[in-house]
Structure 1
């Protein structure tokens, strides 16, 4: 239904956006694009079909954006009421923990030998991480927990929303520390404490960003600018200095003198199209040409962090929360309307024949 609607609306996704999304997926899985291709084909799916699936997801995202999310905002009155409500419950605020987790599971009926094998594996993984293996890599390779594909990252959560076992495992640890191997009925656990946020702190994810901007015009159209930026990107990936490429090619005057650096940016600091690209990148990755209302950008995230922010950011967070709730409500109604319309269109020829 959604793909049919996107087609009817004339929505399309160009090859550069598909390339950007595929490259991001490969990077997040610590693969090259060729490596991702081999892995996809090893699992029995033609890579062309995989790319088409990515394109379909981007089409659906663009459709939802154009018909649902772009038209929804949070008013200042709604934000004031939301923050006032939060203050009333401030007494109930609690600490939050950002944890990463590796699980080596134990079946319900397990032999003593199998239990010993799995315990040994857990201790071996702990030694590897302590010796320098990235925790997220170890989680992807060994963990049998539900967040293994995300590098074991559980995200930032209130203590009350975390299993008591994991909370106890990191008690007394400093950010960056690892727990010992902890056993439960479900298996053997290794936990890393990433961030400990005290009650009342407001943490948001921020990105350190630099970019190169070029603006299409009557002489250089969108395709020509995109082709130029792809060449610039290829040079950067081959080892060219990003700051030098900014000086030679960027048309964004405010950042050109400092290597394209935009500083730390968080939710609402940049236009939505730019922010959407940031969330798909990992530090060190350079995007394919990405379009915003200002032109075409090459974007690189050089670092990211969870940062405690104040009142202005609280309003931005409140705006985002309210908007997300509205989007969820509107999306459900919109989707039901589309499905209902499709059902009527499917049934009507039959009724007409009768």
Structure 2
């Protein structure tokens, strides 16, 4: 049951099953608390850290051997709590908010994805010892962080048609996709030769453990990886080869599902890659519709009933045999199609909005609709034809755009997180060994 509950939080974007700082604080029951980290003018309490760590431990209750020692796990979780706290502060400072109505919709979406009603979600949370308000707080903070990310990258990430052409010239966009996981042994900027040698020994030792069958990849990632996805077993997810850094593509193409790579040096340190599975991308088609339309816009000077009456009058003229194009040019308020006599061209189902999309599906070729209402006014459309259009090339360009944008976004936001972390005053007061010291297994049997 606990694992089932934690799957409800899998859609959350930053901490996954970890409780947010505010939610963890709300659940604190220890009479006397201590400070485990100072973050600028704020603090993270022992009760917050314990609550977050305990949630991770509950998630892996059936596989406790996959988790690192408590001291190492605490450091991993504290690092993520610090980053989360800094992002929430920045979101607040930049005026990012989540309205109560938006939060309610997000809660309903989580319940729906898990085939539950909201009441059933409440019951499941209570059965697993988590309050409904704690869940709402975690969800709200994840939404705030995601909006911070979107706002930051939207102002910095642009993709030009030239960049798309250049990528398509050297990459086979739309080809096979791969599902990957990784283990990262991080190196600081300007690492010394001793630090590089230590990292090499550690990453080779981790790989040897996996190859010898002493630990599976997921467990090794949880215990030894320095990446933010360590507690997800190193899972990266599905990626097109185009979305993978070039220095890894050749390695992955030579692998079979289940294989793990030799250690590879990257910008952030050493990585071991696991190829979990592959899949092929096929030809893509979409049904397109051809139509002509007339719109009567609702305005302060033409309220709803008056607009409805005008649309009905125009419809009667069309039924009586007047020319659609002439009526559209003289009466339509749609500035995009009026000059063309209402010609809407060929379009995908919802390209002109869901109201038109829903209506056009009910028509046959050549049939004229009755007046119907959308959010902007009243419409009359005549469906002229349908076709199956091969959109593989168009989608290739869209995929190329997304690949470039995703790569730029990840780089920009990682740079942003490093920046806010470096600019902040962070003092850890945890006792115990650092993660790298524990996570350096022997490289010999």
Indicate the TM-score class for this superposition, using the shorter chain for normalisation: 0.3 to 0.5
Tell which structure's C-alpha radius of gyration is larger.
Answer: 2
